[in-house]
Each structure stands twice: as C-alpha cells, then as structure tokens.
Amino acid sequence: MELLSPAGNMQSLKAAVQNGADAVYLGLKTFSARANADNFTFEELKEAVSYCHLRDVLVYVTINTLIDDSNMSFALDNAYKAYTYGVDAVIVQDLGLAAQIRKNIPSLRLHASTQMSVINPKEAILLKNMGFKRIIAAREATIEQIKALTETGIEIEVFGHGSLCVSYSGQCELSFFNGGKSGNKGGCAQPCRLPYTLAKEDKVLAFKNLLSTKDIAVMDHIKQIENANVVSLKIEGRMKSPEYVAIITRTYKKAISGTLTQKDRQDAMMVFNREGFSEGYMFSKPGKEMMAYNFSGNTGIKIGTVIGVNKEKGLIQIESDKELVNGDGISFPKNDLGMYVNIIRKNGNKYGLICRNGVPDNFEHVYLTYDKQLMEETQKSYSDDFYRKTVIKGVFQARHGEKAKFTVTDNRSNSFTAYSDIDVQEANSPDANQNILKNLSKTGNTVFEFEDISIKTDFDVFLPAKTVNALRRDALEGLTEIRKAISVAPVDKIFPKYLNINRSINRSDKKPGVSLFFFEDRPDFDIKDINADRIYMPESMYKRYSYDNRAYMYKPIGSMLNEKTILPKRVISSSMGILEYDCDKVMDFGINCLNTYTADFLAGYNNVKAVCLSHELPIEDISSFIGMNSNISFEYITYGRVAVMKTKYCIKGAFNQMPECMNQDLHLLDRQKKRLDIVTYCDCHTSYLLGAFTINNINRIDEIRKSGADTLRINVYKETKEEIKEIINKLL
C-alpha cells in the first residue's frame, strides 16, 4: 500500500520523502484546494519532480477546485504543463475540467478528488468509465463501503490521518455564504471551528465548538485497510509544518511495516491533535467521540499539573511527567493559555516557570504542544538530501589492453555504462580487485546505495584511484540523468472544446419555467394546483405524488447507490451515480456545475432533464449557458434557504438521544445569533444545515430571464402554500 504525504512547499516535500513517503501530493499557485499553503511555482514543480523521481517517489498535482469558464483554458494549461514536467497524476474535482483533460491530454493520469464526495459503487463506475484511474474516497465512507468501491476495479485511495471536515468535501458552502471565501475554490475560512449554540426554541441544549472534528488517525487499522484492497493511504496536511509532515509520515511508514511503537503514537499526538484522535467514519459511528468541542487548536499531550501559582509575579510551579527544556511549548486549555517554557528553577520533576501572557489556575492540567528536542531531531531527518537511498547494482568489467567499464542498474531496469579514460593494466597486488570494488562502492553524496557490486575479469586489475573514482562518478551521474529524464507522449495543441453539445449564439428572452424543492415532507402542502414545471421532494412525500409527472424523488448526498438500488422514474440528486440509472434525472446543486464544460459533460448522459447551476455562479455569469442545449434545462436559485453544509455527523442525535429528536426543530446559532436550521435525512444518515438567510433574486428576474437559465428554482422550507404561490406569481 502506497504512503501518500502532503507537500505544502519544498521543505515539506523533502520532509515527506526523507521520512519514507512513496508519493507526495502538492498544489500549484492556482486552482489548489489549499490556496493558503505556500504551494509551488512551475519552476519549483520541475525541481520537485526531479527530486522525487530520483528517489522513486511519485508526484501528484492537485488541480482540485471548481473552475469557471473564464479560467478553463488556464486550468487546462496548468494540467498540460504539469504533464510535460513529468508528474505522475493530477487530482481533479471539476467534472468539466476532468473531461477536457481526458480529451486533450489522454495520457495524463486522472485521480478523482475527495471533493467529488464519492461513496457509492455507481459513482466509482461512472468515473472509471470517464477515464479516471483512481478515486480518493469521501472521508465519510466506512471500511465496508470502501471495500465495495475497490470491487469496481478502480484504484481507491483513503485519507488515514489529519484534519477531518465535518461536511462532505465539496458539499460545504458555509464559508462562501458567511464571508465569500469558497471552500470549493481553496479559500475555506473554517467557520466550522467556531463555537455554536444548539437550541430548541429558546432553550439552549449546548454551547461548544459543535462542528469541530478531531483529527483522524487509523494507524492501528492498517491491516483492515490493506485487506479492503486500498492502494494508497493519504496523510492530510499541506498547510502543516515540515516537522509535522516528517513525524506523521514516519509514523505511518512504521505502521505499514508493523514496527510502530508507543513513542511513535505519542509523537504523532504531540505534533498535532484536537482533544485526541478519532477513527473517523471509516471505523466508528459519527457522534460525540469524533468531535473536539472544547478546543479547535493543537491540544498536545498531557504531561502534568500546576501545583503553585503566584499571579502577582507571573510565576508558576508545575509537576511534569516529561523532562522539559527551555523552548518547549506548553498550554493550559482550561484558560486557553499557551507559552514557551522559561525555567527559573528545577527540582526533580518540578519546574518553576515564568508566565508572560497570563497565569493559569492552580491544579490545572498542563499539555506539551511543542517538543523542542523532538523538533530538532526531526529537522535533521530531512536536512540531508542524501539520507534516503535508492538501491542499485554494479558490474565492473576489465580486459587486457582495453578501457574498463562500469555498469550500474537500478530497480526500474535503467542502466548506464561508464568507461575509464585509460586502458587497464595487470596489478602486482592480489588485493587490487578488492580495492577497486571498495572504491566503487563509495556512493557518498548521491541518492544511490549498492545492494550488490561485482567484478568480471580473469586477472588482478590496476587502475589509479582517481580513475576508479571518476569511473564511479560518471556511472552514477549517467544513471541520475536517466532517472530524471521525462518521457511523455506528445499531444496536439490543447484548448477547451465541447464534446456533446452544439452552441447557439441566440439569446433567449423566453419566460422561464419554475421548479420547487422541498427540504422536508410537507403533508400540509398540496402540490396539485401549484404552477411549477418540476417539483422535488423527499421519498416519503414522493410516494404520495409519484403519479404526478412533475414530481421527482430527492436522493440526498450519502444515499446508497449500488446494483441492488432501484430508483423511481424521476430522481433529483447531487450524486453523479444517478447518471448510471435509466430514469429521468435532475442534477442538483451539489454536482457543482460552475462552468459550461461540466454542463457539456452531463449532456452526454441520457434523460438528464435539468442541471442546477452552482450557488457560487453570479447571475451575470449565467449568460455563458445561453444556447447550450435545448434538451436540458438550467436552473438557478431564485428564492429560498440554501443547504450550506451537508454532513454525516448527526448534530441532533449527538445531544438528544430521544428517537423523536429527528423531527424536532433544533437549530444552531452562530456568534452573531444567526440561526442555522437542521434538516435530517435519517435513511442515509445525513444532516443539512440551512444558511441563516433567504436568497431572494425576485427583483433581478429580468436579468435571469435574459440569461442562460431557463428555470427559476424555489427552495421550500417553512413557507406556506400561499406564500409560495405569491412568489411564483411574481416570477411568472
């Protein structure tokens, strides 16, 4: 199983490689889902590929954001440049970009980002047929679901350690709607790490960091993951320090080899954790044990207790299980205090310390968050570029009166032969051949190490030491150049082009249609006399209206879609898996259609009746969709609440164990007392958070009418039938 480590910059890349990574993933300066990482220029990418390939490490480049039409050529060009620099794969979220890469650069290996939220075999089959070679499974997938994905025949990669989004990746718009920073474009501001209040009416049930998850750690489940036929175990952390990357990479290298120690576990915990680790969705059920309710930063490891306080002088005494040195970092989570250790006296395991930024309470627990000695040792692990070696074989050959030759061969069957600059002579010493082998074996400051070296000659050979050294140097340099060489299939001039549609330049001023979406079953809302073209509803509501050709059953994200799943005649979902079914289908907002090339890809499937354009697409940009395809409607949100987060974590159930809690109107309040309502779909263990606002584009109806959207979408939550009728009348 491949160990895949993050590289936010060149130093982190070296930390990963020198500590045992089999592959690294990194982002460029644009179109990276970790836009706040340092990321790589193209010159740095070239250096990174050379550094890694020389050491038998693969390089995957992330182009894993949503792409708008104005940037599609730019993103495609990034993929092409990465391809010419010899990267081993690109990781992609945007379906339109993926289709364009497959068409324009067919030899470039495609990996499906976890932002695609793949959890179902049907989704895996679709991506496999599309040309993807690997899928990074949704972090919500259980080990059983992961095994089902591997059985489709496509490579499956899983996240094994690091930060866990509380939302399905690619399905969260909380940051976008809260402050305009899109997680789907790499700018997530992480509002999920802030405190929220859980309330029922005016009663407060909880006030904590209710959406903040612990980091996941599966180091004790390696065999189960391998038995599920997972090909790659991924470490999250492109925004973490090189020391973090080194320690976690080393930890999982040992876990995979079966040599993990308790100290390794402790080092991993110290370098970063949030109130401990969880096993994520892979090996545990979503609940309180996955959450870090009290502290969203690094908790570190508990090492002792405060046993004395002098607040006037800013002095404390602590008792510690670990020997401390000046420069260690400690924290006191109860009072949200942190400091670097400054020892004024020491007596056994008792330390007198100076506190410059506040004094903790007596008897408060002390946590180590920065181990200076461990960090210094870790930094040494990647300061030597030649610490990690690649094993090779060597053969020295010599004949009377001819130049000697030295052939070196690596594990990929690359070989290079160097020749001496003078003819060999017969030596008088019986140790001459052994001395030559000894000199040839000195690989020094190179990435190579001989696992076998032999000599083929029938006499004792004499060559000056400087000639032998030059022979070795020439051979190793030649092999180095071969290993660094880039060989890719040529491609024609690349440019985005539509594959399934014929564009029309005609602008449409026709009156748009209307669609309704019900977040919940509404027994009080009879749809019979509602003037709408399509009406989307949960399964329980659909059963009452399945006779109505306007009715579509809603399949929330996380719904199971496999060979045994039977869908009704009309379905709406954000899961691309429904494209594999023979039914009328509408692709909901979570399909993330931000550009016309994604629409073009979806148009290649039968019975796609409508595509809901991304919430992140401004009204003025809808005009790109004009004349796209008369057989597919494009919907744009015109009125209603929006699901800003879709999560497998049951917020209601975590704090209210009564079965009827799922039907109760529990809600969250953010720091500004804005209300986020919770809608729960129990059959697929998914909860939606509805944003604390109602979108209202009714006053911009003329702009929308002249755009490429031919259907106006209304989301219905608590609105009455009369209110919805009034809104429809305004639209029509």
Q: What is the pLDDT of residue 506?
A: 55
Residue 690 confidence (pLDDT) above 80: yes
Select 513-560+568-642+693-731's CATH number: 3.20.20.80, 3.40.50.2000, 3.20.20.70, 1.20.1300.10: 3.20.20.70
Short-list 132, 353, 146, 339, CA closest to 232: 146
Residue 707 confidence (pLDDT) above 90: no
**CA-CA distance, 404 to 133, in Å (whole number)?**
46
pLDDT in tens, 298-348: 999 999 999 999 999 999 999 999 999 999 999 998 888 999 999 999 999
Q: What is the pLDDT of residue 389?
A: 94
Whether 327 contacts 372, CB under 8 Å = yes
**CA-CA distance, 141 to 118, in Å (whole number)?**
8
Q: What is the pLDDT of residue 561?
A: 80
Q: What is the pLDDT of residue 551?
A: 97
Average pLDDT of the segment spanning 545-569 = 90
Quick one: pLDDT band at residue 222, thresholds 50, 70, 90? very high
DSSP state of 512: P
Of residues 620 and 236, more confidence is placed in 236
List, as one string, the DSSP characters of 237-284: -TTS-HHHHHHHHHHHHHHHHT---HHHHHHHHHHS-SSSEE-HHHHS
Quick one: pLDDT band at residue 657, thresholds 50, 70, 90? low
Q: What is the pLDDT of residue 159?
A: 97
Whether 684 contacts 560, CB under 8 Å = yes
Whether 133 contacts 153, CB under 8 Å = no
Short-list 183, 193, 165, 212, CA closest to 615: 183
Q: What is the pLDDT of residue 508?
A: 52
Residue 377 confidence (pLDDT) above 80: yes
Average pLDDT of the segment spanning 618-633 = 82
**Residue matched to tokens 């039938």:** 721
Residue 1 confidence (pLDDT) above 70: yes
Phi-psi region of 300 (alpha: psi -120 to 50; beta: other; left: phi over 0): left
pLDDT in tens, 263-292: 999 999 999 999 999 999 999 888 889 999
Residue 252 confidence (pLDDT) above 80: yes
Taking the domains of the chain in order of start, what are their residue ranges? 2-164+213-258, 301-383, 390-484, 513-560+568-642+693-731
Q: Are the folds of 2-164+213-258 and 513-560+568-642+693-731 the same?
A: yes
pLDDT in tens, 416-466: 999 999 999 988 888 989 999 999 999 989 999 999 999 999 899 999 999
Quick one: pLDDT band at residue 659, thresholds 50, 70, 90? low
Taking the C-alpha atoms of 39, 44, 47 and 49 in order, what is their torsion angle to the nearest 10 degrees?
Answer: 40
Percent with pLDDT over 70 in the chain? 98
CA geometry: angle 141, 143, 145, nearest 5 deg: 55
Q: How many residues can be counted in the chain?
A: 732
pLDDT in tens, 476-528: 999 999 999 998 888 888 889 888 877 665 555 556 799 999 999 999 999 99
Residue 182 confidence (pLDDT) above 70: yes
Quick one: pLDDT band at residue 562, thresholds 50, 70, 90? confident
* CB atoms near residue 540 (< 10 Å): 12
Of residues 655 and 109, more confidence is placed in 109
pLDDT in tens, 578-602: 999 999 999 999 999 999 999 999 9
Residue 78 confidence (pLDDT) above 60: yes
Q: What is the pLDDT of residue 510?
A: 59
Q: What is the pLDDT of residue 710?
A: 86
Whether 209 contacts 296, CB under 8 Å = yes
**Residue matched to tokens 């193209």:** 42
Quick one: pLDDT band at residue 629, thresholds 50, 70, 90? low
Residue 728 confidence (pLDDT) above 80: yes
CATH topology of domain 2-164+213-258: TIM Barrel (3.20.20)
CA geometry: angle 87, 88, 92, nearest 5 deg: 90
**CA-CA distance, 602 to 399, in Å (whole number)?**
68
Sheet holding 315-320, edge to edge: 337-340, 329-332, 365-370, 301-310, 315-320, 350-354, 343-347
> What is the sign of the dihedral through the CA atoms of 518, 522, 525 and 529?
positive
Residue 678 confidence (pLDDT) above 70: yes
**Residue matched to tokens 């960091």:** 209
Q: What is the pLDDT of residue 298?
A: 93
Rounded to the nearest integer, the mean pLDDT of the chain is 93
* CB atoms near residue 675 (< 10 Å): 14
pLDDT in tens, 21-72: 999 999 999 999 888 889 999 999 999 999 999 999 999 999 999 999 999 9
> 301-383: what CATH class?
mainly beta
User: What distance lies between CA 217 and its chain's CA centroid?
Assistant: 15
**Maximum distance among all Cα pairs of the chain, rounded to whole angstroms:** 108
Whether 201 contacts 664, CB under 8 Å = no
pLDDT in tens, 395-411: 999 998 899 999 999 99
List phi, psi (to 5°) of 488. Answer: -130, 150
Whether 316 contacts 289, CB under 8 Å = no
Residue 513 is encoded by which pair of tokens? 């249609």
Q: What is the pLDDT of residue 630?
A: 65
Quick one: pLDDT band at residue 80, thresholds 50, 70, 90? very high
pTM: 0.95
Pairing of strands 196-200, 110-112: unpaired
Instruction: Name the burial class of residue 485, with classes exposed (0-12), middle (13-18) and buried (19+) by CB atoms within 10 angstroms of its CB.
Output: exposed
Residue 92 is encoded by which pair of tokens? 């992609």
Whether 507 contacts 525, CB under 8 Å = no
Q: What is the pLDDT of residue 504?
A: 61
Residue 378 is encoded by which pair of tokens? 């870790």
Residue 705 confidence (pLDDT) above 90: no
Question: How far is residue 712 from each of residues 630, 636, 650, measured CA to CA in Å?
Answer: 16, 5, 31
List phi, psi (to 5°) of 497. Answer: -150, 145
Q: What is the pLDDT of residue 663?
A: 63
